[in-house]
Amino acid sequence: MTVALFVQRVFDGLQAGAIYAILALAIVVIFRASGLLNFAQGELAMFTTFIAWALLDSGLPWWAATILATVIGFGLGAILYRLLIVRLGGAAANPLAIVIVTIGLFLMLNDGAGIIWGSNPAKVPRLFGDGRVELLGAGISVQVLGLLGVLAVLVIGFGLLFQRTKLGLALRAVTSNPESAALAGIKVVTTLMIGWGLAAAIGSLAGTFTASQNLSVDTNMMQITLIYAFAAATLGGFDSPLGAVIGGLVIGLVSELVVGYVSIIGPDLRLLPGFVLVLAVLLVRPQGLFGSAKVARA
């Protein structure tokens, strides 16, 4: 019984953590591409999840709606970058203004979704079905295993993208030094559009998985997840995709296990353990677990 309970809690934690990890990945991709924090990342994910729900409602199967919403998310991210961020002079010229713009986007998307769709208890199916498997006496839903699989694919995919492809090289070059990158023939705006598009597409997956898990789509669904995702990125290091993912999983696990086993920290203090952990790690490693330390010339 106690082993089963432990296993169950581990998977509860991994399930929550995997969603934090996916959204943290989106945050890290934008940070790497443009050196910015996109506060609207969670709301973008929420917005595309509503699109997925609308597609489902119009008769599309859920898997098709998920894929289509991811593609639409890519377009939305790219357009937002092209229409808003570029016009403000780009990240390098005006970083604070752009951070404020992302906060504005946060509010706009939140209200926009509310006006268009309201909020719906949604009979959203699970992408990987309702099946469950027994593991050491605990019941693990196939959905969680599928979610962890998707996460693994994303991590490997992004690792390869950044390290092994010309696009990845271009993304890194543009962040490191936009001017030199442009001089070397890299189309900076196009490259960054792709970066923002990719981030929104990944975020969209975090949203649809949350909807499947919560059985509802509502305008506030990603807000607490965003806080956790920021914590995950901070823990893992803002410029490390692998760090973001590990950070997300660790925060999910720690929250679930501490709340479950430490009786004085009840479910009402669910946010606490993860953030104490982040604080402790930052005291020792300010750049996060996998982040690269800033080297300043003396």
Residues 198 and 29: beta-carbon distance below 8 Å? yes
Helices (H) and strands (E) in the chain, counts: 12, 4
Taking the least distance from each CB to another protein, the nearer of 134 and 179 is 134
Closest approach, Cβ 102 to another protein, in A, equals: 23
Closest approach, Cβ 216 to another protein, in A, equals: 4
CA atoms of 110 and 122, how far apart (whole Å): 18
Q: Enumerate binding residues for another protein (CB under 8 A).
A: 1-2, 4-5, 8-9, 12, 15-16, 114, 118-123, 130, 132, 134, 138-139, 141, 213-216, 218-221, 224, 256, 259-260, 266-268, 270
What's the token pair of residue 70? 């991811």
Amino acid code (one letter) for 251: I
Closest approach, Cβ 189 to another protein, in A, equals: 38
Taking the least distance from each CB to another protein, the nearer of 125 and 168 is 125
Closest approach, Cβ 109 to another protein, in A, equals: 15
Taking the least distance from each CB to another protein, the nearer of 5 and 97 is 5
Other Cβ atoms within 10 Å of 232 Cβ, number: 33
Taking the least distance from each CB to another protein, the nearer of 1 and 83 is 1
Number of C-alpha atoms within 13 angstroms, CB side, residue 293?
A: 7
CA atoms of 260 and 244, how far apart (whole Å): 24
Taking the least distance from each CB to another protein, the nearer of 138 and 289 is 138
Q: Is 292 helix (H, G, I), strand (E, B) or coil?
A: coil
Closest approach, Cβ 6 to another protein, in A, equals: 9
